[in-house]
Structure formats: C-alpha cells, structure tokens
Chain A
Amino acid sequence: MKPSLFDYVAPRSVDEAISLLKEDSGAMILAGGQSLIPAMNMRLASPSRLIDIQNIPGLAHITVGNGKIAVGAMARHREVELHDGAAAANPVLRAALGHVAHIPIRNRGTVVGSLCHADAAAEMPMILVLTGGSVLVAGSDGRREIAAQDFFQFHMTTSRQPDEMVVEAQFPVLPPGAGFAFEEFTRRHGDYAIAAAGCILTRNGAGAVATVALAACGVSSKPLRLFAAEQILAGTRLTAADIKAAGDAACAVVTAPGDMHATAGYRKHLFASLVRRAVEKAAARAQ
C-alpha cells in the first residue's frame, strides 16, 4: 500500500495549474486527497504528477448571493457544513454533509473534490443534481459552466476535460417556503450511501405540491433526478397513496447490481422507503 513514483507540483494560480495539466496527460489534481491518496496507496491510481491546488489563492471561498451558494474548489466539506450563511440559504447541504464520511475526513476533503471524484454513491454530487446546480470549469480556452445533469456521466466519470479544472460549484438556494429532506441508509455511520434520496418541495396555498425535485444516489451509475416520481407527486395533496406511488416509481431507476452490502431486491425495497420518507419530511417542512 505504497504509491508508485510520482512528481509533485504546487502551482500558485489556476492558469499555471491548467498549463501543468495540459503538459502531462498523466497528471492529476490533488485537492483534499481523501479519495485520491487512498487510491494511489492501493495503486488503483498512479498519476505521473500531482498538481496540488491547496496554495492557489482565491479557491477556498464560500459565498452566498445571486440566488446561489458558491463553493470554491478548496472549500472543505466541514467548512461548508459549518457555514451558517450556506445553511440558511439551503439547509439541504448541511443535512447531506453530515452523512459524508467522518469529521476528520470532512476537515480535509473538499466538496468540489467530491463532485470531481463523482462516486455514484456520494452525497454531494446528488445534492448538486437535486438543487439543479452547476460547476464552473476553467480550461486553456477560458471558463465554462456545466449543469449538474450534464456533469455527471458515470461512476467516477464527469464531462470535465482532462486539461480542465473545476474552480467552483454553485448550489441554488432553497426556493422560498420549500421543504427539504435528505434520507440515507448506510450500514455504518459515515459510509457511502447504500441508497439515499433527497427532496425539495413547495406547496401552494391549497396545500398541493407546487414544485418538487427528487434525486438519488447509490442506486445507479450516477446521481439521478427522479423525474417519474416527481411527475406523480406534482399537483397532488400527498396522500399516502401518492407518496407510495412515487416511491414505487422511483424504484424503476434502481439499476445498481446486488453487491455484498445490498442485494438488488433489498436496495429497491430500501430505496422506495427512503423516497417516501424524504417526501414526507420535506412536505412537513414546506410552508
């Protein structure tokens, strides 16, 4: 469990980081190192060069404004979790972050690193999808924004080009009056989700569902919006039957094969109940 030989560079600017990335196709960005370093130790990743972005000024920001929470590439999970402004603007971030690993890992690991790593069972990619957020990517031709739906392609695969770097993630604030919920099941506290469901929901004056977003992780090869379930709930008054139907519909997206932690059948069963619980909780919180 020792990495193979690699070079290490610590650029001082985003531009420098990008040109280093371009120079060497075997290079990888090092953020908090909480996913990359273990992978290197197990020789699952053998980068020729690590480009450590820790010392680049201006990447650790967390700002709330213009309807969104902007999280810089070096903002740590724990900083985002404890940021009161971010929690007030969209409490689902804090709710989900409490499930990401353990505090010592959150102290080092970054939210953007987690998005770039794009584990299909990871919480923060799902939150980006749930909230309809995006990432800001810098490359040699300048910067571009990629919507969450387009960013996550497959387990550990994103649409970021090899010579691009994500500089910021943007999470929209919670719509006024919306309720939210994040429901996850793991066998141990702090593990990656066996399945998780998130919900953001608003109700109209009559109590019917005005808008609803549902998303999931752990059930497929990437974080997903649950469009079919959303459609079932839209406009309803959330009777038990509506909620059950949404849970059942959500199950259709479960494609993760059975593994040592969950048989395929169990994961479906579990996921349906997480979706139901998420909807119920979000509804109860909605004004």
Chain B
Amino acid sequence: MSTRLFGARIKRNIDPQLLRGEGSFIDDIPLAQALHVAFVRSPFARARINSIDISAAVAHPGVAAVYTCDNVGPLDIEMPLLIPHSSMHDARTQRPLARDDVYYVGQTVAMVVAVDRYTAEDAAALVDVDYDPRDVEIDLEKAILDDAPLVHDTHERNVAAHFVQVCGYPDSAIAQAEHVTKIRVQVDRSTAAPMECRAVAAQFDEVTGELTVWDGTQAPISVRGGLASIFKLDEDKVRVIAPNVGGGFGQKVLLFYPDELLVPMAAMQLGRPVKYIEDRRENFVGSSQERTQIHFMELYAKKTGEVIALRDSFLHDTGAFIPYGIAVAQVASTSIAGPYRIPNIWVEFKAIYTPTVPVTPYRGCGRPQACFAIERAMDQLADELGLDRFEIRRRNLIADHEFPYDREGLIFADGLKVSLDSGQYHKALAMMEERLDAPSFAAEQAKARAEGKHLGLGLAFYVEGTGLGPYEGGHVRIHPITGKVYVNTGLTSQGQGHDTVFAQIAADQLGVKPEDVILVEGDTKAFDWGVATFASRAAVVSGNAIHKSAMIVKRKALQAAANMLEADVGDVELKDGAAWIKGTDRKVPLSAVATATNPLRYAFNEAAQAATQFAPASRHDGPSLDEGEHPGLEATDYYSPPCATWAYGVHGALIEVDPELCSVTIRKYVCIHDCGNMINPMIVEGQVMGGIAQGLGGAMYERIEFDETGNMLNANFVDFLVPYATEIPDVEIHHLETPSPLNALGVKGVGEAGCIAVGAVVASGVEDALKALGGGTFRHTPITPSMIHAALDAA
C-alpha cells in the first residue's frame, strides 16, 4: 500500500454536502400528509394537577387528537431507569405525560396533534389545566436541609443517591499529612444547546406492519429496542433512523424523551405520519441539562507539596428525575484525582433532586466539575506552600514508568476499574511551560502592571476516561460491481466525521481510496448490534471493530485474489482498488474479486466479465460454497474494551482582566493534548477546538438561570449566552501521541476532551491577574463580569 491513511489530514467526506445545505435533517424528510405535534407543558416547578380539560382543544379545527396520561395506553408509565445502581433507592423517572403531579417547568402534560404546528400550538393554548402549586427549593445547598420542600415525597432531604468510594487508606494517610488545603468550588448548570434541536417523525405502514421512526437521537438501536418492547412489536418491524443530526453533545441520548414514544404511538393510532420538531424554548425547558455540582475538597500534603490523600464530598444536582442513574456523579468522583498520583482517596457524593429539567450527561459528563475542583485545589495548595503552579503539578503527576496506574477501589461509569493506562504527563506539562514561556511570565506580568494592565496565567491539567464499552461492531463489505467498500456500525454521527475516520481505517486494510469507503450508520436496518455515540467512544470502540472486520475482509480478498491470479497469497497485496502480485503489473480489480467470490455468476456487468478471465476465487471440490465459506468479501466483527482508555491534556492561557469593565480577554490559549494515535489530526483538532469553545461557554458565559419559583429566566438565545465565534480566541493545539496499550489501533477518545479544563484555566488565570489588586479567589463558574466586580469591590 502506498501511504498509510491512518494519521493523515484528510478532509471530511461529509463537509461539501453539509456546507452546501444538502444535508437531510429530520424536518427535511418529506412525509406526505404529516401531522404535527405541540405539547402542553407545566408552568410550575412543582404542582398537583387537579384536572385537565381538553375539550376546547379537541374541538379546535384542524386538531387530530389530544392526548393526556388517560388515553396513551401502554405509555402511561414511568419511563425506564437506564443504569440502576445500589446507591439509589426507588429512583424516580418521568412519565411521558404527567399523571397527578408535575415536577419541573416544561414537563409535558398533554400532547396535541394537528394539521400543522401553528394549529397545534393554538390548540395547546386551549388545554385547560388546573394546578395546585407547591413550594419549591431551587438552591442545591438548601434543598438538602431538613425542612426543605420535597420534590418527591419518597425522598427525604431530596437525596436521590448517596455513594462513597475509597481508594487506598485515606484515614492513615491523613494522619501523616503536614499540610491540608480546603476548598469549596461550584460549577453551575448549563445545557448542550445543539444547533438543531431534537426532532422525531414516525410513519406506520399498515400493509407491512412496519413502524419507521426518524429520531435525531445518538442511540437509534436502543430507541428501537424500547419502542419494540413497549408497543410489543417484533424488532424487525421497527426501524429507527438517525439521519443528519445537528449536534448532540449527550443531550440526544436520554431514552426516552416523551416525544420519542408519543410520536410513534400517534402515528400508529392516527394512520398518518406524525412529526415533532422541538423548538428552542422547548429544548431549554424540556431536554436534559447538566453541570451543577458543589465540591468540598481537602488535599492532604507533605511540606514538599506531595499530596498523599484527597477527600472530596460533593453535591450533584440531578434535576427532577434521575433516568440516567448516577453516571455523571460517578464519572466526576472517579476522575477527582486527575492526573496526580494521590494514592489515597475518599470521595462521596449526594445526588439531589431539584424541581428542574432532569440532568443527564452533557459533553464532559462530570469531568469539567472534577477537573475544576482538583485543579483549583492544586493552585491553592501551591499558593499556600509558596510553590509555583507548574512545580506543584510536577511533584504530583504520575510518571511515565508508573503506567498503568490503577485507582483500586474506584469503579468507573462502565462498571470497570479505573486504570490510567498510558501517557507522558510530565512531557505535556513541560511543553506547556515552554509554549507559555512560563519562566519569564512573572516579569511580563510585572511590566504589564506598570502599564496598568492586569495579566494572569491560567493552567489546568485534565484526564478523561474514554472509549467505554460494552462493545460496538463493524460490518465491512466490498461491493461486487463497483469495488467500493461499504462499512456499517451501530453508531450515529452528529457532525464528528465518522464517515472519514472509519473510511481511513478500512481503506488502510483494503487498499482503496477513502472516498471509496461508504459508511452507513444511524439506521437499524443497516446494522443493529451496538450501543450508541457518547462517552468519547466512537473511534475507540467502533474504530477497532471496523479495523478487525476490515482485516478479515483483507485476508479473504488476498486469498481469493491469490487463487484467481494463481499466485501465492504471500505475494499478493491490495492497493489502488486492486489485488496485485507484488512487484509486477499483474492485478485483479477488487470488484472482480468480490464478484468472483460470489458463486452466483451471471455475467451482467464488467466486473463479472473481468472475473471470468481469472482462475476461480475458491479452490475446493464439491458444492460452490465450501463448508464454512461465505459468499462475497464481507465480515462482521466486534470490539469490546477491557476498560476505559485514559486520554489527558493540559491547557494554559494568558489572560487579561480589565478591572474597569470587569472583562476578560484571552491573549493566548494553548492546548497540549494526547488522545493516543490520531486517525485524522484535522478531525482531532476540530473536536478539541469545538470542545474548547464549548468549555469557554461554561467558563464565562452560559448559565441556566432559574428564579426562586423554578422558572427558567433565559430559555432563549438572547439571554443564554452561547459564545459566538467572535468570543473564541485563537487556540494553539499541540499533539502528543502515546498509543493506548488497550486496543490494536492505539487510539483514545477525544470528543469531550476540549471542554474539560477550560473553566479551571480561566479561573486560575483571572485569579492570577487580579492578585495584585486583592481580587480574591475564583472558585465558581461561569466567571461573569458581575463576579469580577464583586471580587474587586470586596478587595
């Protein structure tokens, strides 16, 4: 093979189509005579429903049906708890349509189906719901007090889960500490804000009995499983397709949003296609959010700065329900010691119900909070011990020879051990020191101060357990007519570029151009074994599965071609779309090999005619297909990771704060990161850059604001400040590539990496910049101008 495609900066196959506006998102799919859905949503954070009167809505012209919990049959249920865990009791999940009680503003109470969305909204306004509002407590720290109003009567002090994990012997280590640093940090609630909101459309074919659902989900296979079981349909009769999807970031993998069940139900009952296109306000009040955690952390250290034990106790806001179990809090608690050796850990969390939109993983999934806690604590420890911030980290980072570094006793979100498998943490830190010219920063800072400018250096290290199991599959087939390679996997794409990186992996094995590899995913008819796109797992899990399948196909192709060319298999190689006898010009096109391996020989195309010029592809006597032999060049294989593989990185920035405007300007932002072997550095950089932009959103702009009655005050893009391109600084990205020892491709995930450290970097830089003004500490994100003003005012 000429050059290896793995590792090459290949342009994304999907971009021309998306950039020309030729993508096909759910609302673009033409469905004849489709009906449209609007929801009646609770205006109260907590209320008892006395009655629901739908008569006026039913009578409204153009309305096909109005549903409440009373007429949804099998859907009048509490939806599933996805990941049970012993730390929860009686875990509460939402009903598709509320029965008796509502638990957050925005919860779905009734569904109107009408000829168009306008009419549906008009009719929804006519549904008369009589509520009896209850007291609520939105503040996380007050929600756990004895007299706090309860979200669920079943859960005292609103505690949904309580869990303690221990690694090493924290008690005895604490006794030997020479210094302790204590810190409280808080990260506020945000939301993924995907450009395309969620959407579901469904069509039921009376003749075949097939239900087709287009769902902007990250998990079509699981959605299909759920629909089939709830509606008691054969899985083969349910097809779930996730077409082009405009961003997901975790929000699109809840299982189930009410609409994902109700829309297919309505399509089956009403005999017409039904569409629900979520609008932006609904995305704010109805689709999952994440982030609020308050950590109380203690680091126990030697005078040298070596941290020998860590205690962390944190509150995790899970919103009104806990459908995803403790996943977010568990990821936070197992990432809490970051890249540091810290051999003794005691970490506890309480997941708290609040009468707000339910919380499920959003890009980062607890890691930004954990990173914020440990990194801010490290900065404080350095400060208290009079050490440089780089130095304190150097003294605690895991050394290269210490990998794999196990945190015995901590169980990651996949139920497997925490084992940091590989890395070059010290080298990454040294690179950052050099890129920021850290040794001369103090002088630069002093000089700027003399000119009335306030510069700070921000620094944070992160680790990320990626590539979670249990498994994914890959199906690879060489097409007999065109010789093109078709690849399927059980994932979906929301813009990550799967089609390109998976093409690179398959093309390397099969000697074809990456544009001749066609990936079809996100369709249960194409491939229906697998999990979903989340947890920075696509490249690791599906990537390795596709790699394995492609190797099998390669082996088959080589053997068949060797037979056809009457050569020794060792002398045959695949390149440029053909099998060649090495060092000669004798070759057979892959299309002909693929055709010849299918004993059905109608010579109705060129590939078949070409195939006839060669010897048979299979050398055996008896029936056309030998025992155990399969027709064609095709294989399916699976990859199941032994445990997560840990990526990491360090971010640093030079930040200027203007104490008059209380504004923050990032003068320089550097990211050193390591996601193992890179399949496509350009796509890696895109992921990292996007993550950093999203991280800056969380660090400085985005916060869901609730008033004290639980009403969301900024459920729109006017007041929920997603940063624009104009707010995002240039970012310098440097790669390290430490291969993961856990999988054949040596890859680690990168999807979430970018966002993890940003909050800690900005806080550390702002704090440093304002130190000379007595600006105090910054331990709460997002850092807003008002917070900077308050800090300076108190100085």
Contacts and interface: CB of A to CB of B under 8 A. Distances in A.
Interface of A: 1-5, 42, 102, 185, 187-191, 194, 258, 260-263, 265-266, 269-270, 273-274
Contact of B705 (A3, A191, A260, A273): A260
Given A187-B784, A266-B785, 13 more contacts: A187-B785, A188-B701, A188-B726, A189-B727, A194-B785, A260-B703, A260-B714, A263-B789, A263-B790, A265-B793, A269-B662, A270-B662, A270-B785
A237 to B, nearest CB: 22
A185 B723 contact: no
B762 to A, nearest CB: 14
A263 B122 CA distance: 38
B89 interface: no
A260 B663 contact: no
A266 B790 contact: yes
Q: What 7 A-B pairs come out closest when comparing CB atoms?
A: A189-B726, A273-B660, A266-B789, A1-B279, A263-B786, A266-B786, A2-B118
A187 B793 contact: no
Contacts of A3: 118
B132 interface: no
B281 interface: yes
B727 A188 contact: yes
Interface in B745-795: 784-786, 789-790, 793
A1 B789 contact: no
Contacts of A265: 789-790, 793
Nearest to A273: B660
B789 A269 contact: yes
A188 B660 contact: no
Interface residues of B, number: 29
A67 B784 CA distance: 43
A185 B726 contact: no
B724 interface: yes
A262 B661 CA distance: 11
B638 to A, nearest CB: 43
A260 B713 contact: yes
Contact of B724 (A5, A188, A258, A263): A188
A162 B107 CA distance: 39
Contacts of B705: 260
A119 to B, nearest CB: 11
A150 B273 CA distance: 56
A261 B723 contact: no
Q: Is chain A's binding surface mostly helix, strand, loop or mixed?
A: loop
B661 A185 contact: yes
Contacts of A274: 661
B668 interface: no
Given A2-B117, A263-B789, A269-B789, A42 B281 contact: yes
Contact of A1 (B280, B663, B723, B786): B280
B776 to A, nearest CB: 15
Contacts of B703: 260
A262 B785 contact: yes
B281 A262 contact: no
A113 to B, nearest CB: 17
B121 interface: yes
A86 to B, nearest CB: 25
A261 B719 contact: yes
A3 B117 CA distance: 10
A266 B662 contact: yes
Contact of B701 (A1, A187, A263): A187
B183 interface: no
B721 interface: yes
A102 to B, nearest CB: 8
B368 to A, nearest CB: 20
A274 B785 CA distance: 14
A261 B700 CA distance: 11
Interface centre among A3, A261, A265, A274 (most CB of B within 10 A): A261
Contacts of B660: 269-270, 273
A191 B660 CA distance: 19
A3 B726 CA distance: 31
Contacts of A191: 721
Contacts of B714: 260
8 contacts: A4-B122, A185-B785, A188-B727, A260-B713, A263-B786, A265-B790, A269-B789, A270-B789
Nearest to A270: B661
Contacts of A263: 786, 789-790
Interface centre among A187, A190, A265 (most CB of B within 10 A): A187
B732 to A, nearest CB: 22
B66 to A, nearest CB: 18
Interface centre among A3, A42, A258 (most CB of B within 10 A): A42
Given A185-B663, A266-B662, A273-B661, A190 B789 contact: no
Contacts of B793: 265, 269
Contact of B721 (A102, A188, A266): A188
B786 A190 contact: no
A147 B212 CA distance: 63
Contacts of B663: 185
A118 to B, nearest CB: 17
A258 B703 CA distance: 16
A262 B786 contact: yes
Interface in B724-751: 724, 726-727
A102 B784 CA distance: 23
Contacts of B721: 187-188, 191, 261
A191 B789 CA distance: 20
Given A189-B724, A261-B719, A2 B121 contact: yes
A199 B271 CA distance: 66
A261 B719 CA distance: 8
A5 B116 CA distance: 13
A243 to B, nearest CB: 13
Contacts of A260: 703, 705, 713-714, 719
A2 B663 CA distance: 37
Nearest to B703: A260
Contacts of B726: 188-190
Interface string B187-211: 0000000000000000000000000
A102 B789 CA distance: 28
